């Protein structure tokens, strides 16, 4: 009687295997999430094949236990795949290692001849005559494990690609937003009373630098350069909000102390105290040739007498905007511009650029290229060429921004 039943049993098992593979394939095509795929996989091994304990390790970004059904949790934590399992490239039917006292069989799953997963199995139901179901179904278990592992890894890679695409779109949006903040050179003045030129080089897609030029009244212009701490969309949003507020508050007769304190409150509120902005802000009257400015912890601009070539710096007068909840004393500086002058504002990406010996360049490139009567555009072009501000310069570690003002 038993011999007559064997072909029928085998046919039934073959049908089960085909049905199981079809079910798993349809589930994968239906994009079932990883937990549901693992539940189906576990059900096939436990309910249909009588396997009591299953431990599945998978390699993605690193080795990790993907499923532990029946084994003590401590076993999965104690196994170091690279140390304990990578030596196995074939199915182990006799497990003698002390790490695996509860494990009956180890099944490696290979992809391109390299292990991509390991299945550890224990607590096997025995049929008559001592035959283990695992012995008869090794290839099937290895095959279905490989299908499940590849599907789950593909899901992980797909989700990772979606995440990277979302980050890429966010950076593109932030970059466009940032470029909208920075005035194009075609919009900057170039006449007998005031001339301006800017240069902006982001080290990454989105930087933290910003400069601006504003016509505050018929005779009064304003200009600034700033650097927000941090990068990415949040920094770009903070700078966008900062620019809008600055343009709304900065007028021809606004007091610098009150203005800086309002901007400080704005930055502290909008960034929850997690970011700050260094800022150089100036106002110039083309008729009186009086320059007023405040330097909030920004790199001191270089001011150059283009007749004599002498240079000095416009030093700091208060802490950065957003560094403290309340802005302490703000000191406004006033300067009478008597001779043809250039004022070069810049960010720390320029001053902290290293020379070939590893030393900071500081303001030496500015002092070298600007003390002359050449147009600002020529000065900036020669500086960029001289110190190689480009993607190929491995010494560049930050954004580089320059706003040059010339008072004839």
Can you list the domains of the chain with their CATH numbers? 2-159 (3.30.450.40), 170-407 (3.60.40.10)
Q: What is the pLDDT along the chain (408 residues), one digit of tens a residue?
A: 444 445 666 777 788 888 888 989 998 888 899 999 999 999 999 888 888 899 999 998 899 999 999 998 888 888 999 999 999 999 988 777 767 778 889 999 998 889 999 999 987 655 444 455 567 788 899 999 999 999 999 999 998 998 988 888 877 777 777 777 789 898 899 999 999 999 988 766 666 788 999 999 999 999 999 998 876 677 777 888 899 999 999 999 999 999 999 999 999 998 888 899 999 999 999 999 999 999 999 999 999 999 998 999 998 778 999 999 998 889 899 999 988 999 999 998 888 777 777 778 888 889 898 999 899 999 999 998 888 776 666 666 677 889 999 999
CB 322 within 8 A of CB 311: no
Predicted TM-score (pTM) of this structure? 0.66
- pLDDT for the residue 3: 46
> How far is Cα 77 from Cα 57, in angstroms, rounded to an integer?
11
**CB neighbours of residue 2 within 10 Å:** 8
Q: Assign 278 to helix, strand or coil.
A: strand
Per DSSP (E only), the strands in 85-229 are 105-111, 114-124, 195-201, 209-215, 220-228
The β-bridge partners of 403 are 198, 345
What does the DSSP 8-state code read for residue 122?
Answer: E
The β-bridge partners of 223 are 213, 282
Alpha helices for 30-137 (secondary structure H): 34-43, 73-78, 81-84, 133-136
- pLDDT for the residue 125: 56
HSE-up (13 A, CA, CB side) for residue 359 = 5
């Amino acid at each position: 009687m038993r011999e007559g039943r064997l072909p029928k049993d085998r046919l039934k098992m073959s049908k089960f295997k085909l049905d199981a593979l079809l079910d798993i394939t349809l589930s994968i095509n239906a994009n079932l999430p990883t937990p549901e795929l693992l539940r189906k996989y576990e059900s096939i091994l436990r309910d249909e094949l009588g396997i009591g304990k299953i431990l599945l390790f998978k390699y993605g970004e690193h080795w990790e236990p993907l499923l532990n059904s029946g084994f003590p949790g401590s076993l999965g934590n104690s196994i170091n795949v690279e140390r304990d399992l990578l030596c196995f490239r074939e199915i182990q039917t006799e497990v003698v290692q002390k790490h695996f006292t509860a494990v009956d069989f180890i099944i490696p799953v290979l992809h391109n001849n390299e292990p991509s997963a390991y299945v550890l199995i224990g607590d096997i139901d025995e049929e008559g005559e001592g035959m283990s179901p695992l012995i008869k179904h090794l290839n099937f278990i290895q095959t279905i494990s490989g299908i499940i592992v590849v599907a789950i890894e593909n899901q992980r890679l797909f989700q990772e690609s979606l995440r990277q695409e979302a980050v890429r779109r966010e950076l593109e949006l932030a970059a466009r937003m940032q470029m909208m903040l920075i005035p194009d050179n075609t919009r900057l003045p170039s006449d007998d009373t005031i001339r301006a030129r800017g240069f902006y080089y982001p080290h990454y897609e989105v930087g933290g630098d910003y400069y601006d030029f504003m016509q505050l009244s018929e005779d009064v212009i304003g200009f600034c350069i700033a650097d927000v701490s941090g990068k990415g969309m949040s920094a770009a949003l903070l700078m966008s909000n900062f620019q809008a507020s600055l343009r709304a508050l900065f007028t021809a007769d606004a007091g610098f102390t009150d203005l800086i304190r309002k901007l400080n409150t704005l930055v502290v509120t909008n960034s929850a105290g997690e970011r700050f902005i260094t800022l150089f802000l100036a106002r110039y009257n083309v008729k009186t040739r009086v320059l007023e400015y405040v330097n909030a912890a920004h790199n001191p601009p270089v001011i150059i007498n283009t007749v004599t070539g002498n240079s000095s710096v416009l030093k700091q007068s208060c802490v950065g905007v957003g560094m403290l909840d309340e802005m302490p004393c703000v000191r406004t500086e006033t300067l009478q511009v008597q001779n043809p002058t250039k004022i070069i504002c810049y960010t720390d990406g320029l001053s902290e650029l290293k020379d070939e010996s590893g030393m900071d360049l500081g303001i030496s490139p500015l002092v070298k290229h600007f003390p002359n009567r050449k147009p600002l555009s020529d000065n900036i072009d020669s500086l960029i060429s001289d110190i190689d501000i480009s993607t190929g310069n491995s010494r560049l570690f930050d954004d580089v921004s320059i706003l040059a003002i010339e008072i004839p």
